[in-house]
Amino acid sequence: KQEVTQIPAALSVPEGENLVLNCSFTDSAIYNLQWFRQDPGKGLTSLLLIQSSQREQTSGRLNASLDKSSGRSTLYIAASQPGDSATYLCAVGPKLVFGKGTKLTVNP
Amino acid sequence: NAGVMQNPRHLVRRRGQEARLRCSPMKGHSHVYWYRQLPEEGLKFMVYLQKENIIDESGMPKERFSAEFPKEGPSILRIQQVVRGDSAAYFCASSPEHSGNTIYFGEGSWLTVV
């Protein structure tokens, strides 16, 4: 049974800092890994999708890496902004098993 | 191109009543997924449907819960005889095909059982 863990559960940083969110999964037989952002009381917004054959994906200030063999993914956020404050979720496909998320607060 | 549309956004039901949650996938998407997010918990997979077919319902509780995705109209998640433990956010998502593509989520339906 696939289990996904995200560390840390919460993170508070000053504006402008670079940061890394971690995601680990127990079964390396995945189709893909997806990072989402969830704002309070809202749905999920897809940030990056990494196929199982890929090692990383980039979008703007975000970079996600995937190491299937070790069961890990990281989401790197450069030059963080207060608008980045949200809960970040990773999920492994195909059925999308989710971690509990990392709640990020970026302080002005 | 409208996103995944869920309604109602908020629903209050008394114990024992029925709750019906609707989901219209994005245009051109034939795959629908339902997830449940309990307070302080992560999202849990419930069911995966294609038009007129349930593909995977391994996350659905055995009783009181059912889902459908008819040929015409939205996908429906139905909860009969609701209990307080059913209070949660229910998210629908859609994709154009399974496994390889980005999945798009709706804004969720928040069910409160009183």
The pLDDT assigned to B98 comes to: 61
- Chain A residues whose beta carbon lies within 8 Å of the beta carbon of residue B33: 96
CB atoms within 10 A of CB A76: 15
Give the span between the Cα atoms of B111 and B13, in whole angstroms: 8
Long-range contacts of A58-64 (CB under 8 A, 24+ apart): A62/A35, A64/A33, A64/A35
Read off the pLDDT of each residue in B40-68 and give the average, rounded to a whole number: 92
Flag whether pLDDT at B1 surpasses 60: no
| Phi, psi for residue B85 in degrees, rounded to 5 | -70, -10
Mutate to test the interface with A, among B103, B107, B111 (most CBs of A within 10 A): B103
- Chain B residues whose beta carbon lies within 8 Å of the beta carbon of residue A29: none
The pLDDT assigned to B100 comes to: 62
The pLDDT assigned to A73 comes to: 97
The pLDDT assigned to B97 comes to: 72
Show the CA angle centred on residue B19, arms to residues B13 and B25, nearest 5°.
135
Show the CA angle centred on residue A74, arms to residues A68 and A80, nearest 5°.
165
- Nearest chain A residue to B49, by CA: A95
Q: What is the pLDDT of residues B65-110, one digit of tens each?
A: 999 999 999 999 999 999 999 999 999 999 887 656 678 899 999 9
Give the span between the Cα atoms of A97 and B43, in whole angstroms: 8
Contact B43 A43 (CB under 8 A): no
Contact B99 A96 (CB under 8 A): no
Q: What is the pLDDT of residues A73-89, one digit of tens each?
A: 999 999 999 999 999 99
Q: How far is A49 from chain B (nearest CA, A)?
A: 6
